[in-house]
Amino acid sequence: MARVHHIEKHFTAGNFVRDVVIGMSDGLTVPFALAAGLSGAVQNTKLIVVGGLAEIAAGSIAMGLGGYLAARGDAEHYDQERAREYREIKEIPEEEVAEVSRIFQAYGMTAEESDPVAEKLSRRPDSWVDFMMRFELGLEPPDPSRALTSAGTIAASYVAGGLIPLSPYIVLGSPGQGLITSAVVTLAALGIFGFLKGRYTGSGPLRSATQTMIIGGIAAAAAFLLAKLIA
């Protein structure tokens, strides 16, 4: 009988999807809310477009910088914790060996089974520290290019998302028509984006789509009504 090879399929682009979600969700929502708010205060389409483009530029830079700093912070935290683990296996090796044994016991092994494994692992300092970083602290080695990749992905996603609600104002000459068309287009984009996000993250496509549309709609309605009250 021919042997059937089992191929496991796992979704491994979690960081990329997270960055796209962060950039795209804010890119769709914030410029949409800003354009809607300006539509309630002014009747100058050019002013709305210029304000929207300025917000997209500033927002993408701010969001990208935030992603860069967050990724750099994660990398620095990992390096600090790794250095601390090296100090601990040198200064208190007995306690660290006991921690390894307790981790194995948490997975169902007895002390008699886990103690020899922990003892053998302690003879390999680098593997020992790798084990403690992953199973004691729950930390994975960061990608060296993660910070720049995260910044670029978030910024590009923000720009792509922001141009969707602003495009009707660019094409149409009337702020009123632009607002209606922008609302329809943006809510549809929010629904599609939320559906895809839910499908990839496993949170439920329809639920994710509904939540994303509701949040975007509330943000735009609040901005529009506030601008009307102030104007």
Q: Residue 217: helix, strand or coil by DSSP?
A: helix
For residue 10, what pLDDT is reported?
Answer: 44
Q: Return the domain boundaries, the chain.
A: 16-77+148-230, 81-136
Residue 215, Cβ density class (10 Å: 0-12 exposed, 13-18 middle, ≥19 buried): middle
**pLDDT on residue 110:** 87
- The three-point CA angle 207-211-217 to 5° equals 145
Per-residue pLDDT tens, the chain, 231 aa: give them.
455 554 444 444 567 878 888 888 888 888 888 888 787 777 888 888 999 999 999 999 999 999 999 989 989 999 999 999 999 888 888 888 888 899 888 888 888 888 888 888 888 888 888 888 888 888 888 888 888 999 999 999 999 999 998 999 888 877 888 888 888 888 888 888 888 777 776 677 888 888 878 887 777 677 667 766 765
Burial class for 12, CB neighbours closer than 10 Å (0-12, 13-18, 19+): exposed
Instruction: Please name which of 141, 111, 146 lies closest in space to residue 129, comparing C-alpha atoms.
Output: 141
Distance (Å, rounded) from C-alpha 122 to C-alpha 85? Answer: 12
The structure tokens 């990992």 sit at 78
Cβ burial of 47 (10 Å; 0-12, 13-18, 19+) is middle
DSSP symbol at 80: H
How far is the C-alpha of 52 from the C-alpha of 46, rounded, in Å? Answer: 10
